Amino acid sequence: MQIPYTVAARPDTGLHNSKLGIWLFLASEVMLFGALFSSYILLRVAAPEWPHGSALLNVPLAFLNTIILIGSSVTMVMSWASLMVKDFAKYKRYMGLTILCGFGFLVVKGFEYGAKFSHGIFPSEDLFYATYFTLTGLHGLHVIGGIIVNAYFWGPGSKMWAREPERFTNRIEVAGLYWHFVDLVWIFLFPVLYLL
Amino acid sequence: MDQATTEDIKKHVRAYIMVFVALMALTVITVAVSYLHLDVTAAIVVALFIASIKGGLVASYFMHLISEKKLVYFTLMLTVVFFIALISLPLLGLHDTIK
């Protein structure tokens, strides 16, 4: 069976199916993170006192992670742009860099978590750490998910380029939309958790 | 995006690099502002304002929302409505007069 509208736009939506699919998925992701942000606001407003993030968390490491993740968004969009000009070697380089940045983010996050755990600080510590670990943990899982998808498209999945280049380019665009969303969530998480 | 030419893509790439520089600058500004020790309300407003600009840049350029199809905008507008409801509903509880 052939999946319809993977390259051509569907006449009634004006989009190829995977693009509409990813936007609907991202809409559900907005609600998932929105629910957690909403809970965060409620908990913070209701709490008798709330610590300043920078007093408890490592701002320089989070700043470094912000730069890594924004950088990875740029390499991701460049990997798609490389395919648009039919430069597969360049695509491989940029996608490889995106995956490395993803791992870099997780390693830095690992150091942050490790430092907390070694001091006996876990999500059960207090309300602040419970929200911190929940929000960054869920975001971290999204980074891991993105790395898996990107690694597939960098490795075995890239064979599609030889057979169906346009379809493969669309796949990278869609994977990119997800990856940029993960970056976007972090852009809000960083000030909310670390700087306020 | 579907019928982009090589020249179009070159223009896109230049825009991506400018957006990258802007995002870096805004990240530095966010951190710098946090050292000014503004009062909580002002700090929240400034931090969320800068984050919204950064988010807007990512969504507009990296996610190509400046030139998308109508159905994507429709989907997102619906999402925004529900998102606002999600954020405001618990806040309305704060004005609950029944203690």
At residue B3, the pLDDT reads 58
Nearest to B87 among A15, A34, A66 (CB): A34
At residue A2, the pLDDT reads 82
Residues from chain A that touch B61, judged by Cβ atoms under 8 A, are 77
From the list A86, A189, A11, the residue with the least C-alpha distance to B4 is: A86
Nearest to B31 among A9, A14, A63 (CB): A63
pLDDT tens digits along A102-156: 999 999 999 999 999 999 999 999 999 999 999 999 999 999 999 999 999 999 9
Reduced to 3 states (helix: H, G, I; strand: E, B; else coil), residue A2 is coil
| Burial class of residue B19, CB neighbours in 10 A (0-12, 13-18, 19+) | buried
Count other Cβ atoms within 10 Å, centred on residue B47. 22
Element (H, E) at B93: none
CA A81 to chain centre: 19
- What DSSP state is assigned to residue A86? T
Q: What's the mean pLDDT when you consider all of chain A?
A: 95
- Tokens of residue A26, six digits: 């991202």
pLDDT tens digits along A56-68: 999 999 999 999 9
- Tokens of residue A151, six digits: 């690694």
User: Do residues B19 and B64 lie in contact, with contact meaning Cβ atoms separated by under 8 Å?
Assistant: no
Q: Per-residue confidence at B97, pLDDT binned at 50, 70, 90?
A: confident
Question: ipTM, 2 decimals?
Answer: 0.92
Q: Tabulate helix, strand, coil % of chain B (nearest 5).
A: 80, 0, 20
pLDDT at A5 over 80: yes
Residues from chain A that touch B78, judged by Cβ atoms under 8 A, are 27
Residues from chain B that touch A38, judged by Cβ atoms under 8 A, are 86-87, 89-90
Nearest to A13 among B13, B31, B71 (CB): B71
Q: Which of A87-91, A171-175, B3-7, B15-19 has the lowest mean pLDDT?
A: B3-7
Whether B87 and A41 lie within 8 Å, measured CB to CB: yes
User: Do residues A75 and A98 lie in contact, with contact meaning Cβ atoms separated by under 8 Å?
Assistant: yes
Average pLDDT over residues A152-176: 97
Whether A23 and B48 lie within 8 Å, measured CB to CB: no
pLDDT at A37 over 60: yes
Return the domain boundaries, chain A: 17-46+57-195
At residue A166, the pLDDT reads 95
Whether B86 and A38 lie within 8 Å, measured CB to CB: yes
> Where does B35-68 have alpha helices with state H?
40-57
- What DSSP state is assigned to residue B62? I
Q: Per-residue confidence at B99, pLDDT binned at 50, 70, 90?
A: low
pLDDT at A184 over 90: yes
Distance of alpha carbon A193 from alpha carbon A103, whole angstroms: 22
A96, amino acid identity: G
Give me the helix-helix angle, A17-46 and A127-154, nearest 10°: 160
CA A92 to chain centre: 19
Residues from chain B that touch A34, judged by Cβ atoms under 8 A, are 82-83, 86-87
Give me the sign of the Cα torsion angle B26, B28, B33, B34: positive
User: Do residues A156 and A188 lie in contact, with contact meaning Cβ atoms separated by under 8 Å?
Assistant: no
Overall pTM surpassing 0.90 (yes/no): yes
Nearest to A59 among B31, B82, B87 (CB): B31
The residue written with tokens 């995106």 in the block is A98
Give the domain A17-46+57-195 fold.
Four Helix Bundle (Hemerythrin (Met), subunit A) (1.20.120)
Residues from chain B that touch A23, judged by Cβ atoms under 8 A, are 72, 75-76
Residues A59, B57, B40, CA angle at the centre, nearest 5°? 40
User: Do residues B54 and A190 lie in contact, with contact meaning Cβ atoms separated by under 8 Å?
Assistant: no
Q: How far apart are the first and last CA of chain B?
A: 55
pLDDT tens digits along B12-60: 999 999 999 999 999 999 999 988 888 888 999 999 999 999 999 999 9
